[in-house]
Structure 1
């Protein structure tokens, strides 16, 4: 997505959460949701960014919600891309439900030394070359990031926000609940894509076109 944003004239920042990506060497069992919220908020502050369109994909919706609460004055709008959209006091596990939570806890105990959850499989329509590129870069995630309940402190009205639902979501269709909420709530703008869960990988040009539309309308 980086070259597409650059071609459209946008500055694009993609902060890496502590313990993941090139910061995987910093992983430890105490990393939680607050750690990742602070990671992103620190980039906004250190780069003195304003009028930001904050994108949250998948788990990143948990982080984006917390960042918007913490750094509200820097953000123009939030776009949830097939993402968790929590309310105050909710954790990712609360939103995932008991069956999904039990499965992920089992993976943590089996493969993650009790404190890490391995990356979930990529959607089946992902091109083989993209799977080959992404797989070595994907890391297990500390379980506390899924367990910690989000605490929101702002009492101001919600920022402009949009939900982009990928209609070909995987098993369980985890994100439909947030899509339905956004469709029925006038404080949200709602959009759909005929894509699986990772449109930034499987159809980046289409995602860029949709994001351009969202930024113009939200």
Structure 2
């Protein structure tokens, strides 16, 4: 007989699981919805000392008092923190860990550490001081729930109940770091991804293909994945489907990444255009985080050339090797541009986590000024070309483009924060910035086989561009994938790259 422990996230208790629990029990399973100290009908037990260790001990006690020899423990949202803590203390009792639309916190990370938006963190702490007595986070209002994840599919009455029964969250449960010994690291794991909230198996595979070492463990055959076409609250929006997937997860089913992720990381693949034949290829010049690829015929002291600054995506691990500017994609683009008479500039900015967009924006601005200050560069003729998750960084330049910025390009860009990214600040929203772009030329390379959640951000941007009268040229890549330059060596893909480069250089020379 399978036994499930169901653990919800912040502000919510075991009362959120009744329909899922009923379906699981109908299948013959035992079910134990957990209500942690300070939440649900245990809210009166909270005090200023209630912290993550308190919630971990709640689960340890529950595990110790369940007769079932092995448990499947499910952590939804921030509930994964106490789940992993309890699993680390009782690994011999756990048959499988299920991450239900939840992250993968590491040793030493608190819940607040993983909230990427500084303004959101500051607002939360302000609420603690104003309405939480200095140690509790007031429960979200009906409007605030939408900022914490997609509400797609949640019925109105369920949403009203969620708001009514939500309890203040003890601050210590969000600020105390998770401490793990590694005792539960090798347990079988399942991930249930809610696609309307920005997660999908295809998106995970894309991240894996780009070689980020933080996620290589996801290809372990003991890790299985499932998708639900719903928002962040599947226990409210589709309890029957969720219960069925939990039973399948307990049986060891699920999509394995090991069978689908390419053996060679995408960022190590060969660039789809052959290196141009050049009489003598000048060695690139490295200046801190910036590399310059110079045209062969550029002589010191002669008329400076226009430049294209290529801005990689992310977030990526600082341990990733090669770094983006040494990858085949950016070496390929920079060499093509240099062969056509312009300066190609690449950089490694510090977008290592979702919290780093502000830092990455500063790195890009600093790199641009460094490129413009080089005497071989025409400081009045610069193009910026953004890729993938770097697309959000284009917002600053679209909102108030300087006179020297002659073109903005973007390839398979993410043009709005994904629903589960938790980026509430308006700064990194290119669609909202278009009102200031005027007639600045924008060249957008769009791939046909884009992840739906990313394609939706591109569609939103194009709709805003149409409304603002922005000058957008769309270059389509038939049957192209995200990061197609080292994956899709097809004639249409090669034509798309040539067309995009040609258009950017034309705008620079106009």
Q: Which residue of 2 aligns with 1:162?
A: 190
SS in 2 for 1:87: coil
Is the alpha carbon distance of 1:130 and 1:185 closer, same or farther for their aligned partners in structure 2, counting shifts above 3 Å? same
Which residue of 216, 234, 239 corresponds with 1:204?
239
Q: Unmatched 5+ residue regions in structure 2? A: 1-19, 208-213, 254-510
Residue of structure 2 equivalent to 1:119: 139
Equivalent residue for 2:432? none
Range that drifts further, 53-62 or 179-188 = 179-188
Q: Which structure 1 residue ranges, 4+ long, deviate > 3 Å from structure 2? A: 154-157, 173-176, 178-184
Aligned ranges for residues 1-218 of structure 1 at < 5 Å?
A: 1-99=20-118, 100-120=120-140, 121=145, 123=151, 125-155=153-183, 157-169=185-197, 185-187=218-220, 188-217=223-252
Instruction: Answer with 150-159 or 109-118: which moved more.
Output: 150-159
Q: Distance in 2 between matches of 1:182 and 1:138?
A: 33
Contact 1:60 1:84 in 2 (8 A): no
Work out the CA distance in 2 between the residues paired with 1:80 and 1:157.
Answer: 14
Q: What is the TM-score normalised by the length of structure 2?
A: 0.39
Q: Give 3-state SS (helix, strand or coil) of 2:108's partner.
A: coil
Please state how far the C-alpha of 1:182 moved relative to its aligned partner.
Answer: 6.0
Matched residue pairs, number? 214
Question: Kindly tell me: are residues 24 and 117 of structure 1, through their superposed partners in 2, closer, same or farther at Cα, counting changes over 3 Å?
Answer: same
Q: Give how far 1:111 is off.
A: 2.4
TM-score normalised by the chain length of structure 1? 0.88
CA–CA separation in structure 1 for the residues paired with 2:127 and 2:200:
21
CA contact under 8 A between 1:62 and 1:84: conserved in structure 2?
no
**More deviation in 31-40 or 78-87?**
78-87
Q: Is the 8 A contact 2:152 2:196 kept in 1?
A: no
> Partners of 1:45 and 1:184 in 2: how far apart?
29
Partner of 2:196: helix, strand, or coil?
coil
CA–CA distance in structure 1, aligned partners of residues 234 and 108 of structure 2 = 29
* In 1: Cα distance, 2:215 partner to 2:67 partner: 30
CA shift for structure 1 position 208: 1.2
* Alignment CA distance shift 1:18-1:155 (3 Å): closer
**Unpaired stretches in structure 1, ≥5 consecutive residues:** none
Residue 16 of structure 1, CA deviation? 1.0
Return 6-15 or 120-129, whichever deviates more.
120-129
* Corresponding residue SS for 1:131: helix
- Counterpart in the other structure of 2:374: none
User: Is contact 2:88–2:184 with CA below 8 Å preserved after alignment?
Assistant: no
In the TM superposition, residue 136 of structure 1 has moved relative to its aligned partner by: 2.8
Deviates more, 1:64-73 or 1:147-156: 147-156
Q: Displacement of 1:98 after TM fit?
A: 4.4
Residues 157 and 31 (structure 1 numbering): CA distance in 2 closer, same or farther, change over 3 Å? closer
Aligned mates of 1:43, 1:151 — CA distance in 2: 20
Corresponding residue for residue 437 of structure 2: none
CA distance 1:71–1:118, change in 2 (3 Å): same
- How far does residue 93 in structure 1 lie from its aligned partner after superposition? 1.1
CA shift in 2, pair 1:182/1:214, >3 Å: farther
* Secondary structure in 1 matching 2:219: coil
1:44-97 deviation digits (Å, cap 9, x = unpaired): 112233210000001111111111101111000000101132111111111112
Q: Deviations over 1:116-161 (max 9, x none)?
A: 1123326264212212333332101011101000111245642101
For 1:183 and 1:102, how far apart are their aligned partners in 2? Answer: 33
Larger radius of gyration: 2
Contact 1:167 1:193 in 2 (8 A): yes
How far off its partner does 1:168 sit?
1.6
Aligned CA-pair RMSD: 2.5
**Partners of 1:51 and 1:80 in 2: CA distance:** 17
The whole-number CA distance in structure 2 between the counterparts of 1:143 and 1:162 is 28
Q: Residues of 2 paired with 1:182 and 1:155: CA distance?
A: 19
